[in-house]
Each structure stands twice: as structure tokens, then as C-alpha cells.
């Protein structure tokens, strides 16, 4: 199954991407996590040191030149060997840094954009494994059609009007490109929180409370793995996956 995780910046979408991937990997599923966010923080959330994080594909000028060319470039470049070549094993997970399409000319027909979109399409359509894409914050990625082939979208928000309004805009745009299978996850949400009436929100599937162990470690480590609340996060992951499989 191929999933995209979206939301306003700072709401916890990268953390949820890691928690979902970690849960699935511990169920003996083959999982690849793709960092397609401008912030490029997925590797840090996995516990990698900065020097261990691969450079984003979007910045690999030599590879882009090799596969796509310059000037009159190859629209359908060879990418089938790149997942094994560029991905990094992190525990039971595979991890790849794509970079965001925004860095490739905001949807223009430029060579970095062509290579990233070709690889993303290959991974989503051809690879027989779980693919979870951590998208850039906001709604711009949907306008560029970078998630049109995924099976479902997880929209993440915190319990705030700005976060929920962004979540609603993301959900509406995703439906406009045919992505109807969506869920909403509220992060750092009180158990008694009630959603305001905001048109366009996907169905609320799970709430994640404030996690004391995560708050305690944030100044010491960027990793969001192996928290004291892992069992609780596993329940959230199971609920999300079950809802998207319906």
C-alpha cells in the first residue's frame, strides 16, 4: 500500500510517518519511507546523525545529468535501479531522501523535476511494498500532482484553527485529483477535544495526546522512535491503516 502524509508545518506529520513505518516494519512488512519535505527532517526523526543522511536526490546534479541530461532532456529517465542505489537501511526500514518538487522549479519541466517525479511514480506504481511519503508542509505539492498514484492520504493536524483549516484545504485538493481515501489524525490532542465545523475535513480516525517521553527527550535527541508510549502509538497506527484499507 502506498500512503502520503500531509499537513501544516509543525503538526507532527514527520513523526507520524516514522511511527507508521516502525509499526509496519515490526509486523514484518517491507517498508520504505520517502522524505519529500522541504525541511528534510525524516532522517533526523529516524535517529540518524546529520552526516549519515543521504543528500536529497533533487540536489544530486551528477545523477540528474546522467539520467536526464541537459537542454533537451529525457522525459522518462531510467530509474528502476535507483531505489536500491539511493535508499538507506535504518533498522528494518528503508529510507530515501527525495527532496521536494518545489526545489525543482515548482512544477516546471526541468530536469531535477523530471527525475524526481519519474522515481516517485516508479516507487508508487511498481514496488510491491509499503511506501510512505512525508510530503512538504502545506498544499503546494498537490497542485503539482506528486501524489496522484498513492492509495491513501493521512492528513495530520494539531487542535488549532490554522492547522485544521490547512488540513481541510489539503483534503479538498486531494479529492480534486481523485484521492478519495483519506483520514485525519489529530496530534497533541486532548481526549475530550471536539472538532469545530470546518467544511472539507476528512473523517477523524485517531488522536495522539501529548507524549511526555517525547517532550522530555527533544533537547537531547531528534529521534521519535522507542518512546515509552510506543504501545499507544501502535494502536494509532493500526487504526489509521485499518481505516485506509476499507
Q: Give me the residues of the chain with pLDDT under 70, please.
A: 70-74, 100-110, 140-146
Q: Which contiguous run of DSSP H or E holds residue 230?
A: helix 230-245
Given this model, what pLDDT does residue 107 score?
A: 44
d(CA 130, CA 1): 5
The predicted pLDDT at position 140 comes to 65
Residue 79, C-beta contacts closer than 8 angstroms, at least 6 positions apart: 67, 115, 118, 119, 122
Element containing residue 175 per DSSP (H, E): helix 161-176
Q: What is the pLDDT of residue 153?
A: 95
Which residues are CB-neighbours of 190 under 8 A, at least 6 positions away? 159, 209
Chain mean pLDDT for the chain: 88
Strands 2-7 and 130-135: what pairing?
A: parallel
Which domain, by its residues, includes 56?
A: 2-245
Report the DSSP pairing between strands 204-208 and 182-187. parallel
The predicted structure's pLDDT at residue 144: 59
Instruction: Count Cβ atoms within 10 A of the Cβ of residue 149 and give its class: 0-12 exposed, 13-18 middle, 19 or more buried.
Output: middle
What's the pLDDT score for residue 128?
77
Q: What's the start-to-end Cα distance of the chain, in Å? A: 12
176-218, pLDDT tens digit by residue?
888 999 999 999 999 899 999 999 999 999 999 999 999 999 8
Pairing, β 93-97 against β 31-36: parallel
* 8 Å CB contact between 6 and 135: yes
Structural domains in the chain (count): 1
Show the beta-strand stretches assigned E in the chain.
2-7, 31-36, 88-90, 93-97, 130-135, 152-157, 182-187, 204-208
Name the pTM for this structure: 0.91
Residue 178: predicted pLDDT: 87
CATH number for the domain spanning 42: value is 3.40.50.300
In DSSP terms, 152 is beta-bridged to 3
Amino acid at each position: 500500500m502506498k500512503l502520503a502524509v500531509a499537513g501544516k508545518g509543525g503538526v507532527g506529520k514527520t513523526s507520524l510517518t516514522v511511527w507508521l513505518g516502525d509499526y509496519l516494519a515490526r509486523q514484518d512488512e517491507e517498508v520504505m519511507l520517502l522524505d519529500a519535505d522541504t525541511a528534510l527532517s525524516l532522517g533526523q526523526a529516524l535517529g540518524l546523525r546529520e552526516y549519515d543522511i543521504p543528500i536529497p536526490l533533487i540536489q544530486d546534479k551528477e545523477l540528474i545529468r546522467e539520467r536526464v541530461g541537459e537542454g533537451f532532456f529525457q522525459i522518462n529517465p531510467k530509474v528502476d535501479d535507483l531505489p536500491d542505489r539511493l535508499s538507506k537501511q535504518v533498522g528494518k526500514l528503508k529510507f530515501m531522501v527525495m527532496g521536494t518538487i518545489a526545489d525543482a522549479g515548482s512544477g516546471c519541466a526541468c530536469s531535477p523535476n523530471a527525475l524526481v517525479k519519474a522515481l516517485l511514480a516508479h516507487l508508487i506504481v511498481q514496488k510491491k511494498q509499503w511506501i510512505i511519503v512525508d510530503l512538504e508542509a502545506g498544499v503546494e505539492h498537490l497542485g503539482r500532482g506528486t501524489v496522484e498514484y498513492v492509495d491513501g492520504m493521512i492528513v495530520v493536524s494539531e487542535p488549532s484553527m490554522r492547522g485544521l483549516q490547512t488540513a481541510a484545504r489539503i483534503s479538498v485538493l486531494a479529492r480534486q485529483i481523485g484521492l478519495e481515501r483519506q483520514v485525519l489524525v489529530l496530534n497533541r490532542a486532548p481526549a475530550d477535544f471536539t472538532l469545530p465545523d470546518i467544511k472539507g475535513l476528512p473523517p477523524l480516525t485517531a488522536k495522539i495526546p501529548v507524549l511526555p517521553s517525547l517532550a522530555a527527550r527533544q533537547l537531547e535527541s531528534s529521534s521519535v522512535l522507542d518512546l515509552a508510549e510506543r504501545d499507544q502509538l501502535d494502536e494509532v497506527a493500526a487504526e489509521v491503516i485499518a481505516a485506509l484499507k476499507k
